[in-house]
Structure 1
Amino acid sequence: MRVFIYFLSILTFSYVIDIQTIFIRIITRDKYTLQWLNNFPFLSQSIREFWGRRYNQIIGTILKESLFLPLNLYIPSRSIVGLITFIISGLLHVHIALVAFEDISSVLPTFACFLLNGIACCIDAHLPINLPPLLGWLMTHSVLFVTAPMCLGPFARDKDVFFGVNELLSYDDDQWISKLPMPKNCPK
């Protein structure tokens, strides 16, 4: 349950952060703009669309400009270059898990999450047919929902990162459910 709630919060919290982009454009009358963090990732109809155009566009742009495009000059296969980019992103996330949580047990699942998503993107790129929009959406979010706990596990297990902020969201011992007094005429 924690991983699911954390997954949903990651995909939705950025809309609050993106409000600053709107204010900057209004205040400066479109003279200055900020890049949006996300572009409605829930609407993704393919795994490549999710990672390439919708989710975490700032990091996506950094990885594209610093890894994907330079490697693409030397390696002709875009699929191999994309897989290498996912592997390096996975190693960066492993580093974060080790430094932030000192959790060696999360190294393999975190790396596997990015490797599997990279493989899914390669398969998606070479799929001979285009899936109908609803089926594409279901497949995309099924892959994400299966692989997300691999990477988000350390974050969800550490209450101080997300769940420690508000005790009502803590699911330990069902404390988030309000305790009602037992009625006096309750049968045993």
Structure 2
Amino acid sequence: MEMGGELKKVLKYWMEGEITSFIKVWLSAYLSLTYCYIAAKMLRSSVARLAAFLPVVCLFIFLPLELHSVHLVGTTGFFLAWLATFKLLMLAFHQGPLSATPPLSLPRFLAVACLPIKLRRDDLYKKDTGRMQRSLLINYSVKGALFVLLLKVYEYDDRIHPKLIKAIYSCHVYLCLELILAIAAAMARGLVGAELEPQFNEPYLSTSLQDFWGRRWNLMVTRILRPTVYLPVLGWSAGVVGREWAPLPAVVSTFAVSGVMHELIFFYLGRVRPTWEISLFFLLHGFSLAAEIVVKKVVDGRWNLPAPVAKVLTVAFVLVTALWLFFPPLMRCKGDERGLAEVAAVADFIKDVVRALTFTLNP
């Protein structure tokens, strides 16, 4: 991949105030959430809360448009336009993590509102904290090393088959998400002083789509979509198709909403009209998961695939469909090249800082 031109664009963005814009966006977000925190204490009616929160919801949808960097706009769009928006809508109806008992302090409210975290009870997890942190340190150290190794692989992309490059990029995206969310969790841990639940649970070990989407991949999104989409549709559809089959429309509806939200995130990244391939990707997985549920009900445990075979088939299905529908829109807007250029720019910046410090200390 030719990254020289893209690197210059990224550096130009930063020099022209991208970091300043990032600070302004998040300052606006925290001020808005502080307003919501106060409004929630003053207003008990769900209608009044919803009316008070709607201007902030609209603001959060438009705020990411102030940014251009792939990493900054992608994470900001996910944290504000998706997570914070859905959590505020739940808070309006006295639900969700922001309606915790006892009430959250303002710092915890701000952290939980816009970061992909779920607070744990310290008294339940204190004895496992040291062991868990050592395990996480080893886990993220290995994944960080793999991430750096993949960056080196891209230097030889002219010698690698394009389809293999896309597969490598899939791994790169996963590792990038893992590391970004880990950094966000560490920042939140320092801010609110509580242990935080992991967002991924080794998704490459999934034995089914239900296992992948429900218990292993981006668990904060699962926890957000379940009370806001899945459970309401489940309750409605139970009266239409019966409780046995009610999960099917609930699953498809959840994936449809996820597809729309991913379209919004991709619009932030590329600023181009949606092609709806991403929505099709999530609808395909929604219907496939619904079919999996039907098969499990029919088989009723009488027959199961061997675990190694189930893992290979599940990961292969996710990877192939992602390469077919999910990644092409990202690559058409050169999100991959821009993202790699930004990583290279940060690496160069760090090297320059280290050189400057070394020269200062040892002239």
Is this a same-fold pair by TM over 0.5? Answer: yes
* Identical residues among aligned pairs (%): 23
Write the mapping of 1:117-156 to structure 2, written as runs, cut at 5 A: 117-127=285-295, 129-149=303-323, 150-156=325-331
SS in structure 2 opposite 1:37? Answer: coil
Residue type matched to 1:83 in 2? V
Question: Who is 1:163 aligned against?
Answer: 340
**Alpha-carbon spacing, 1:89–1:15, altered in 2? closer, same or farther (3 Å):** closer
Residue type matched to 1:38 in 2? F
Question: Who is 1:91 aligned against?
Answer: 260
**Alpha-carbon spacing, 1:86–1:71, altered in 2? closer, same or farther (3 Å):** same
Residue type matched to 1:120 in 2? S
Q: Measure the CA separation in 2 of the matches of 1:63 and 1:20.
A: 23
Question: Who is 1:81 aligned against?
Answer: 250
**Alpha-carbon spacing, 1:20–1:99, altered in 2? closer, same or farther (3 Å):** closer
Q: Measure the CA separation in 1 of the matches of 2:288 and 2:176.
A: 25
Question: Who is 1:72 aligned against?
Answer: 234
Deviation readout 1:74-115 (Å, 9 max, x if unpaired): 1121011000110111111122223331233x5221111101
User: Pairwise CA RMSD of aligned residues?
Assistant: 2.9
Question: Who is 2:223 aligned against?
Answer: 61
Residue type matched to 2:307 in 1? P
Give unmatched runs, 5+ long, in structure 1: 169-188
SS in structure 2 opposite 1:32? Answer: coil
Question: Who is 1:33 aligned against?
Answer: 195
Question: Who is 1:6 aligned against?
Answer: 169
SS in structure 2 opposite 1:113? Answer: helix
User: Contact 1:98–1:107 at 8 Å: present in 2 too?
Assistant: no
TM score, norm. by length of structure 1 = 0.74
Question: Who is 2:351 aligned against?
Answer: none
Larger radius of gyration: 2
Question: Who is 1:43 aligned against?
Answer: 205
Question: Who is 2:271 aligned against?
Answer: 102
Q: Measure the CA separation in 1 of the matches of 2:343 and 2:172.
A: 14
> Larger % of helix: which?
2
Question: Who is 1:173 aligned against?
Answer: none
SS in structure 2 opposite 1:33? Answer: coil
After TM superposition, the runs of 4+ consecutive aligned structure 1 residues lying more than 3 A away are 13-24
**Alpha-carbon spacing, 1:40–1:68, altered in 2? closer, same or farther (3 Å):** same
User: Contact 2:252–2:286 at 8 Å: present in 1 too?
Assistant: yes
How many angstroms does 1:155 deviate by? 2.6
Q: Measure the CA separation in 1 of the matches of 2:249 and 2:272.
A: 30
Give unmatched runs, 5+ long, in structure 2: 1-163, 239-245, 296-301, 346-363
Residue type matched to 2:335 in 1? D
User: Contact 2:256–2:286 at 8 Å: present in 1 too?
Assistant: yes
User: Contact 1:71–1:81 at 8 Å: present in 2 too?
Assistant: yes
Q: 1:116 pairs with 264, 280, 284, which one? A: 284
Q: How many residue pairs end up in the alignment?
A: 165
Tell me which moved more, 149-158 or 40-49: 149-158
How many angstroms does 1:139 deviate by? 1.4
